[in-house]
Amino acid sequence: MSANNTQLKKEYLVVAQNASGRNLNVPVYTFSGSKPGPTVYIQSSIHGAEVQGNVVIYHLIKELKNTDIRGKIILVPNCNPVGTNIKSGEYTLGRFDPVNGTNWNRGYFYDQAAVEQFAKTVTPEEPVDVIKHRFRAHLLASIGKKLAEPWGLGLAQQLNLKLQQLAVNADFVLDLHNGPVSTRHIYIPEYAKDSALLFNIPHNIFIPNVFAGALDEATFCPWWTLQDSVRQNLGRNIQCNVEAFTLEMGSQEVINFGEGSVDAHSILSYLNGKGVLVNSDFTPAEMTRLGVYLQDYKTLYSDFGGMVEYIAKPGQKVQKGEPLAQILDIDELDNSQGSRMLHAPCDLIPMLNFPSASVLSGTQLFKCFTNYFEL
């Protein structure tokens, strides 16, 4: 029970079983408001090393205990306890299912053909709220059918689908992540571009209606496709007002309580802008916000192996020809080739870099904004 009209309930969801047959649970915190409104779903740490989102959820819970809300807010911290506990020495190797090699964030469900078929059942006069209710029931049944496949599913996909069942009724879905060595940035569906102004995040990546397995895509692709299909079938424009985002909140393997509070306030600013909070003064910060389309969010791969000093820092503007990194070549230490510079191929802003100084050829050294613009 919270200190206002908002009700807090804590339950546990079984997401996996270990080899001893013991259940692995995650807590699910649900805030229910006294007034009707949208549903919000927020999860963190689907990749085991990306732990900062848990601190963000901690701060969200503290704030929401003293905040009236409309609708419902569902919070699932540390949603992948398997990944969190995959350690090798000092490092958390929690990006992939260790048995099947699957990325923990690539097993969510989306069937474009089924969505297009559903869209054919929509009539010209059917109210949007009825369409949304029917479509959510359709999505939930499809996910349940996928989970019940007779030949079974890998661990990562089982985990993803159980979480997706929690998220399927949400109007706003936020998946909290971290990069290796990273600055704040966010993935935003192109149709929700205006929402970039509600978060306190300086770097925004606008992504198309293309499904690659992640939770944000599994959320917005069905609704985006439904809207497009109804427009094509009936010439009718419907607005379902469902949005989903991946928030990258700094570097993995570390938590920072102060920065977690900053990110919690950013999320509350967004929720307030969407009418979820009642009588709240959370508003977007005055800041420069830059955007880039996904096709201009480039990965710089190494064409060498060696030891690297990362000179350009995440979030730093770098002009073409300026140094990004300095490389040490162990086999050439006795001559002028022992050290060389890697220069920026164009004007760019690195968002993240590889976390280790030891680099193989073909490594993702940097991911960068190019052709960026001010919002």
Instruction: Give the pLDDT confidence score for residue 3 in this predicted structure.
Output: 54
CATH number for the domain that contains residue 104: 3.40.630.10
Residue 183 to residue 249: CA distance in whole angstroms: 7
Domain shared by 220 and 323, yes or no: no
Q: Which residue has the tokens 């540390």?
A: 78
Q: Which residue has the tokens 């085991």?
A: 48
Residues of the chain scoring pLDDT < 70: 1-3
Instruction: Give the pLDDT confidence score for residue 356 in this predicted structure.
Output: 95
Domain shared by 163 and 238, yes or no: yes
Domain shared by 266 and 328, yes or no: no
DSSP state, 34?
Answer: S
Residue 1 lies in a domain: no
Beta-strand runs (E) in 180-283: 181-182, 185-189, 203-207, 243-251
Domain shared by 215 and 345, yes or no: no
DSSP state, 348?
Answer: B
- Classify the C-alpha dihedral 268-274-278-280 as positive or negative: positive
Averaged pLDDT of the chain? 96
**Domain count of the fold of the chain:** 2
Instruction: Give the pLDDT confidence score for residue 361 in this predicted structure.
Output: 94
Q: ∠ CA(296), CA(297), CA(302), 5° rounding?
A: 115
What is the domain extent for residue 280?
Answer: 7-287
Domain shared by 65 and 137, yes or no: yes
Residue 234 to residue 180: CA distance in whole angstroms: 46
Domain shared by 262 and 353, yes or no: no
Instruction: Give the pLDDT confidence score for residue 1 in this predicted structure.
Output: 45
Residue 245 to residue 43: CA distance in whole angstroms: 11
Instruction: Give the pLDDT confidence score for residue 93 in this predicted structure.
Output: 87
Burial 71-96 (b: 16+ CB within 10 A, else e): bbbbbbbbbbbbbbebeeeeebebbb
Task: Report CA Rg, the chain.
Answer: 22
Residue 17 lies in a domain: yes
pLDDT tens digits for range 131-182 = 999 999 999 999 999 999 999 999 999 999 999 999 999 999 999 999 999 9
Domain shared by 250 and 365, yes or no: no
Domain shared by 308 and 237, yes or no: no
Instruction: Give the pLDDT confidence score for residue 5 in this predicted structure.
Output: 81
Residue 210 lies in a domain: yes
pLDDT tens digits for range 251-302 = 999 999 999 999 999 999 999 999 999 999 999 999 999 999 999 999 999 9
